[in-house]
Amino acid sequence: MTTIKEIKDQLSNKKISVQELYDDYYNKAKKSELNSFNQLLEPEYNKQNIINSQSRYDEEKDLPLDGIPLGIKDLFCTKGIATTASSKILEKFIPEYESRVTQNLLNDGSIFLGKNNCDEFAMGSSNETSFYGPVINPWKNKNQINDHLVPGGSSGGSASAVAEKICVASIGTDTGGSIRQPASLCGVVGLKPTFGSCSRWGVVAFASSLDQAGPITNTVEDAAYLLNSVSSYDPNDSTSSNHKRDNFLEGIGKNFDRPITIGIPSDYLKDVSSEIIEQIENTKKHLTNLNINFIDVEFTTTDFALSTYYIIAPAEASSNLARYDGIRYGYRGKGDSLEEIYVNSRSEGFGEEVIRRILIGTYVLSAGYYDAYYRKAQRVRRLIKDDFQRILKDVDFILTPTTPNEAFKIGEKLDPIAMYMNDIFTVPTSLAGLPAISLPSGLSKNNLPLGIQLIGNYFQEKNLLQMASLLEKEFGFNG
Partner 1 sequence: MSDINIKKVSYLAKLALNDDKAALYEKSLSEIIEWVDNLKKIDTEGVKPLHNITEKNQNIRNDEVVKNNSTEEILSNAPEKAQNFFRVPKVVE
Determine which residue in the list 107, 239, 282, 446 makes contact with partner 1, applying CB under 8 A.
239
Nearer to partner 1 among residue 67 and residue 361 (C-beta): 361
Cα(430)–Cα(261) distance, integer angstroms: 22
CB 232: neighbour CB atoms within 10 A? Answer: 18
Catalytic residue among 178, 231, 241, 444: 178
Tell me: does residue 124 bind partner 1 (CB under 8 A). no
Q: Provide the minimum distance between the beta carbon of 1 and partner 1 in the complex, in angstroms, as a whole number.
A: 35
Catalytic residue among 32, 53, 73, 126: 73
Of 107-115, 140-148, 223-231, 373-381, the window that binds partner 1 (rule: CB under 8 A) is 373-381
Nearest CA-CA partner of 129 in 97, 105, 155: 155
Tell me: does residue 336 bind partner 1 (CB under 8 A). yes
Counted residue by residue, the chain has a size of 479
Tell me: does residue 423 bind partner 1 (CB under 8 A). no
Tell me: does residue 385 bind partner 1 (CB under 8 A). yes
CB of 149 closer than 8 Å to CB of 400: no
Pattern 196-235, partner 1, x by CB under 8 A: x------------x-------------------------x
Tell me: does residue 195 bind partner 1 (CB under 8 A). yes
Tell me: does residue 325 bind partner 1 (CB under 8 A). yes
Tell me the CA distances in angstroms from 44 to 29, 49, 104, 215, 466, one per residue in order. Answer: 16, 10, 22, 26, 39
Tell me the CA distances in angstroms from 104 to 122, 198, 322, 360, one per residue in order. Answer: 22, 10, 29, 35
User: Among this protein's residues, is 53 annotated catalytic?
Assistant: no
Q: What contacts 58, CB < 8 A, 6 or more positions away?
A: none
Tell me: does residue 341 bind partner 1 (CB under 8 A). yes
Q: How far is CA 170 from the centre of its chain?
A: 9
Determine which residue in the list 360, 407, 419, 424 makes contact with partner 1, applying CB under 8 A.
360
User: Among this protein's residues, is 158 annotated catalytic?
Assistant: no
Q: Provide the minimum distance between the beta carbon of 267 and partner 1 in the complex, in angstroms, as a whole number.
A: 14
Q: Where do the H-state alpha helices sit in 256-369?
A: 274-287, 302-320, 338-349, 352-365
Considering only residues 75 to 94 of the shown chain, the ones binding partner 1 according to CB under 8 A are: 92-94
Task: Name the amino acid, one letter, at 46.
Answer: N
Cα(221)–Cα(227) distance, integer angstroms: 10
Nearer to partner 1 among residue 60 and residue 96 (C-beta): 96
Tell me: does residue 389 bind partner 1 (CB under 8 A). no
Of 103-111, 133-141, 288-296, 372-380, the window that binds partner 1 (rule: CB under 8 A) is 372-380
Nearer to partner 1 among residue 76 and residue 310 (C-beta): 310
Of 161-169, 271-279, 325-333, 438-446, the window that binds partner 1 (rule: CB under 8 A) is 325-333
Determine which residue in the list 73, 346, 413, 462 makes contact with partner 1, applying CB under 8 A.
346
Cα(458)–Cα(44) distance, integer angstroms: 42
Catalytic residue among 154, 199, 229, 232: 154
Cis geometry, peptide bond prior to residue 154 (ω within 30 degrees of 0): yes
Which helix (H) or strand (E) segment holds residue 49: the answer is: helix 43-58
Q: Where do the H-state alpha helices sit in 206-332?
A: 220-230, 274-287, 302-320
Beta bridge partners of 191: 437
Tell me: does residue 240 bind partner 1 (CB under 8 A). yes
Nearest CA-CA partner of 193 in 384, 461, 381, 438: 461
Determine which residue in the list 301, 403, 444, 469 makes contact with partner 1, applying CB under 8 A.
301
* Nearest-10 Cα torsion for 240, 159, 18, 229: 10
Determine which residue in the list 25, 206, 373, 408 makes contact with partner 1, applying CB under 8 A.
373
User: Among this protein's residues, is 15 annotated catalytic?
Assistant: no
Give, in degrees to the nearest 5, the angle at Cα 474 between 454 and 295: 45
Nearer to partner 1 among residue 287 and residue 305 (C-beta): 305
User: Which residues are near partner 1 by CB under 8 A?
Assistant: 92-94, 96-97, 195-196, 209, 235-236, 238-242, 301, 303-304, 306-308, 310-311, 318, 322, 325-332, 335-344, 346-347, 350, 355-356, 358-360, 362-363, 366, 373, 375-383, 385, 416-417, 432-433
Give catalytic residue positions. 73, 154, 178
